[in-house]
């Protein structure tokens, strides 16, 4: 029977089954919520196993290859090797640049005979500056390509090719004797060393310039070779003068230097008197061998 406000448990009997009605209400809910101790243990074991597995996987992912662990050291090594290779390349390049073409004539050069076609530098005896030109015009006078004295030995703009004048039988490899009229072609710009009556920029003497080209040359490019001292055939390191045919001026230089466009370079000009400052010597260069006469 049911009483008011209370639950009673009753047992039903029958032919087929005996069934006990479980209590309901809050007490029944508490009983359903409470897990058994064995079930909790299994769940905890599964969680700990999962955590250990996840931890081992994360640790295995942290083991990086050698190059990734040491990438900074490898980068420093590659940079060091690059700088080393660059320094070796620059050293070899500078050595080759300094040795060519001057090294071709450096050994036992005192008795080397100078021939047509030789490429050389003319050194001013007193100041040791080299006869030089570059594609910079004079700001006064003729406005032609300037000729100066250059202080450094290692400069490609100081090379000149020794050429015969047109209409002669002279050819490449022939020797040159004192009194011969010759020309000097600037190797880089292919213009001829030239002079005329224009005044030089600093001293007001005869201007020396570069003018013309491969197929353009006149008597303003003609110079007479005059050997000083003994010997009649031009040789390296032999003291010479070069006298301009049209003006009679001697190729000359002095310690008067330009300040602006060619700062540090000294004036080259022509003077009509023989002076100590118009003596030159053949210095570095490529000297072609003498052609044997048949």
The CA-atom distances, in angstroms, between 144 and each of 89, 105, 198, 272 are 39, 32, 11, 21
* Domain-located, residue 139: yes
pLDDT bin (cut points 50, 70, 90) of residue 16 is very low
* Domain CATH number, residue 189: 2.80.10.50
Average pLDDT over residues 172-193: 97
More confident: 291 or 177: 177
Backbone dihedral angles phi then psi of residue 87, each to the nearest 5 degrees:
-65, -40
Helix, strand and coil percent figures for the chain, each rounded to 5: 25, 30, 45
Based on the fold, state whether residues 189 and 234 are members of the same structural domain: yes
Residue 1 half-sphere exposure, CB side, CA atoms within 13 Å? 2
**Strand 206-211 to 280-286 pairing:** unpaired
* Domain-located, residue 24: no
The last residue of a domain, from among 48, 77, 99: 99
* Domain-located, residue 278: yes
More confident: 127 or 90: 127
- Spatial distance between the Cα atoms of 176 and 184, rounded to a whole number of angstroms: 13
Domains of the chain: total: 2
Phi-psi region of 177 (alpha: psi -120 to 50; beta: other; left: phi over 0): beta
Quick check: 203 pLDDT over 70?
A: yes
Q: For 238-272, b where at least 16 C-beta lie within 10 A, e where not — what string?
A: bebbbbbebbebbbbbbeebbeeebeebbbbbbbe
66-70, 131-135, 139-143, 263-267: least confidently modelled range: 66-70
- Spatial distance between the Cα atoms of 196 and 220, rounded to a whole number of angstroms: 7
Based on the fold, state whether residues 129 and 218 are members of the same structural domain: yes
Backbone dihedral angles phi then psi of residue 42, each to the nearest 5 degrees:
-65, -40
44-60 pLDDT per residue, tens: 555 555 665 554 555 54
pLDDT bin (cut points 50, 70, 90) of residue 104 is very low
Average pLDDT over residues 248-277: 92
**Owning domain of residue 124:** 111-286
Can you give the three-state secondary structure of 102-155, one letter per residue? Answer: HHHHCCCCCCCECECCCEEEEEECCCCCEEEEEEEECCCCCCCEEEEEECCCCC
Based on the fold, state whether residues 116 and 260 are members of the same structural domain: yes
Based on the fold, state whether residues 131 and 244 are members of the same structural domain: yes
The last residue of a domain, from among 99, 123, 155: 99
* Domain-located, residue 53: no
Based on the fold, state whether residues 120 and 194 are members of the same structural domain: yes
pLDDT bin (cut points 50, 70, 90) of residue 263 is confident
Q: Are 272 and 249 in contact (CB under 8 A)?
A: yes
Q: What's the token pair of residue 234? A: 């031009």
Q: Where are the alpha helices (DSSP H) in 36-113?
A: 37-62, 66-69, 71-99
| Cα–Cα nearest to 244, from 207, 216, 199, 281 | 207
Q: What's the token pair of residue 101? A: 């073409």
Backbone dihedral angles phi then psi of residue 216, each to the nearest 5 degrees:
-130, 105
pLDDT bin (cut points 50, 70, 90) of residue 76 is confident
233-246 pLDDT per residue, tens: 999 989 999 999 99
For the chain, give the mean pLDDT.
79
Q: Are 278 and 268 in contact (CB under 8 A)?
A: no
Quick check: 107 pLDDT over 50?
A: no
DSSP state of 220: G
267-280 pLDDT per residue, tens: 999 999 999 999 99
Q: Which residues pair with 210 in a beta bridge?
A: 145, 193
Q: Please give the pLDDT value at position 243.
A: 98
Based on the fold, state whether residues 95 and 128 are members of the same structural domain: no
Based on the fold, state whether residues 129 and 251 are members of the same structural domain: yes
Based on the fold, state whether residues 200 and 147 are members of the same structural domain: yes
Q: Please give the pLDDT value at position 47.
A: 59
The residue written with tokens 């050997």 in the block is 227
Based on the fold, state whether residues 281 and 191 are members of the same structural domain: yes
* Domain-located, residue 2: no
Average pLDDT over residues 109-135: 93
Quick check: 141 pLDDT over 80?
A: yes
* Domain-located, residue 31: no
Based on the fold, state whether residues 70 and 169 are members of the same structural domain: no
Quick check: 169 pLDDT over 90?
A: yes
- Spatial distance between the Cα atoms of 251 and 242, rounded to a whole number of angstroms: 6
Based on the fold, state whether residues 155 and 259 are members of the same structural domain: yes
Based on the fold, state whether residues 121 and 259 are members of the same structural domain: yes
């Amino acid at each position: 029977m049911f009483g008011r406000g209370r639950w009673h448990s009753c047992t039903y009997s029958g032919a087929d089954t005996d069934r006990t009605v479980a209590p309901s209400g809050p007490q029944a809910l508490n009983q359903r919520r409470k897990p058994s101790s064995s079930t909790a243990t299994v769940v905890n074991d599964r969680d700990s196993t999962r955590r250990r597995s996840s931890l081992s996987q994360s640790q295995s992912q942290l083991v990086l290859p050698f190059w990734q662990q040491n990438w900074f050291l490898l980068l420093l090594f590659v940079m060091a090797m690059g700088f080393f290779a660059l320094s070796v390349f620059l050293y070899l390049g500078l050595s080759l640049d300094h040795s060519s073409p001057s090294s071709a004539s450096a050994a036992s050069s005192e008795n080397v005979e100078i021939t047509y076609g030789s490429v050389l530098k003319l050194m001013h005896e007193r100041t040791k500056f080299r006869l030089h030109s570059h594609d910079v015009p004079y700001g006064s006078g003729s406005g032609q390509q300037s000729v100066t004295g250059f202080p450094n030995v290692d400069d490609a703009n100081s090379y000149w090719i020794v050429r015969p004048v047109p209409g002669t039988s002279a050819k490449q490899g022939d020797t040159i004797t004192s009194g011969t009229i010759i020309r000097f072609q600037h190797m880089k710009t292919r213009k001829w060393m030239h002079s005329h009556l224009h005044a030089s920029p600093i001293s007001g003497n005869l201007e020396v310039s570069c003018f013309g080209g491969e197929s353009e040359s006149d008597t303003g490019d003609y110079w007479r070779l005059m050997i000083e001292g003994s010997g009649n055939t031009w040789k390296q390191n032999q003291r010479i003068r070069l006298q301009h045919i049209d003006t009679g001026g001697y190729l000359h230089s002095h310690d008067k230097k330009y300040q602006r466009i060619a700062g540090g370079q000294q004036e080259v000009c022509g003077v009509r008197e023989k002076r100590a400052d118009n003596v030159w010597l053949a210095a570095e260069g490529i000297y072609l061998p003498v052609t044997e006469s048949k």
